[in-house]
Amino acid sequence: MWRNAKIALGALIWTLATVGSTLAQNSDWTTPFPPFHIASDLYYVGTNDLASYLITTPKGNILINCELEADVPMIKASIEKLGFRFKDTKILLISHAHFDHDAGCAAIKEMTGAAYMVMDADVPVVESGGKADFQYGHSADALYRLAKVDRILHDGDEVKLGGIVLLAHLTPGHTKGCTTWTTKVTEGNKVYDVVIVGGPWVNPGYKLVNNTEYPQIAEDYERMFRVLKSLPCDIFLGAHGSYFGLQAKYAAMEQGKTNPFIDPEGYKKYVKEAEQAFHDELAKQKLAANRGH
Ligand SMILES: [Zn+2]
């Protein structure tokens, strides 16, 4: 029930976003969320639902996800509110090449001079402003200002800055280069595994069977779930706040409880739900394809 409700919400969000000017109605994508400290040098600087993360180091900062171009001033304000400088953003990363996570990257690159690093299979999408996307390449509302990629990442690559090491895990399907980021943070004497899930859901309209634009899409989703299930996770985060219950966990954190973002069980449950949703959709599409013959 909860899963279905969440999927329905995801579908609604996507529909609102892709049906022309209704984008503005999706206020969770543009409403500022209070920036806050998650753990160690890791901070939340996103909106109510579009998750952006700042990782600070003595050599400058790493920003994950640029969101919509309209959100960039808010991301900048959030970073400054936390006491850091937007100009210190040295590296720019994304969860995957969809406009709700990467449309603002061209602007952020211009404003900060940060090096933009993208997983190989998402590079053509980013560098064409969305035109090379297998699903939305011809949807005018899903296109955005293109940005040049400074470093092409491959599965397993490390991104290093000032003692921070982020690992890029290729978790494809949602986009061809969808990336799940992991790192380790230390709080007190404890080391925590952080997972920032790239995007495990099958969007409405995705063809998992006989997809000429992306023939291996179903195999890629399978691969992604194998990867997600293999990752050790203490601190569970993702490309959207809805993935990991941002608002409820933030409220719990405000009440001074133990850090609610440390949620290994929540992570496992979440991956299981997404995998089940994928298998359900695949079975449905296979059945429909067989009936068609
Ligand atoms: Zn997406």
pLDDT digits (tens, 9 = 90+) for 128-180: 999 999 999 999 999 999 999 999 999 999 999 999 999 999 999 999 999 99
Residue 136 burial by Cβ neighbours in a 10 Å radius (0-12, 13-18, 19+) = buried
Residue 76 near residue 111, CB atoms below 8 Å: yes
Quickly count: other Cβ atoms within 10 Å of residue 243's Cβ: 25
Looking at the whole model, is its pTM more than 0.85? Answer: yes
Using the mean position of ligand 1's atoms as its centre, give its distance from the Cα of residue 190 in Å. 33
Q: Are strands 89-93 and 42-44 parallel, antiparallel or unpaired?
A: unpaired
Using the mean position of ligand 1's atoms as its centre, give its distance from the Cα of residue 188 in Å. 35
280 pLDDT more than 50:
yes
pLDDT of residue 292: 72
Residue 250 near residue 36, CB atoms below 8 Å: yes
Using the mean position of ligand 1's atoms as its centre, give its distance from the Cα of residue 133 in Å. 11
Which protein residues have a CB closer than 5 Å to ligand 1 (ion)?
A: 98, 199
Residue 38 near residue 78, CB atoms below 8 Å: no
Residue-wise pLDDT tens digits, 168-202: 999 999 999 999 999 999 988 999 999 999 999 99
108 pLDDT more than 80:
yes
| Integer angstrom CA distances of residue 44 from 240, 246, 273 | 11, 10, 24
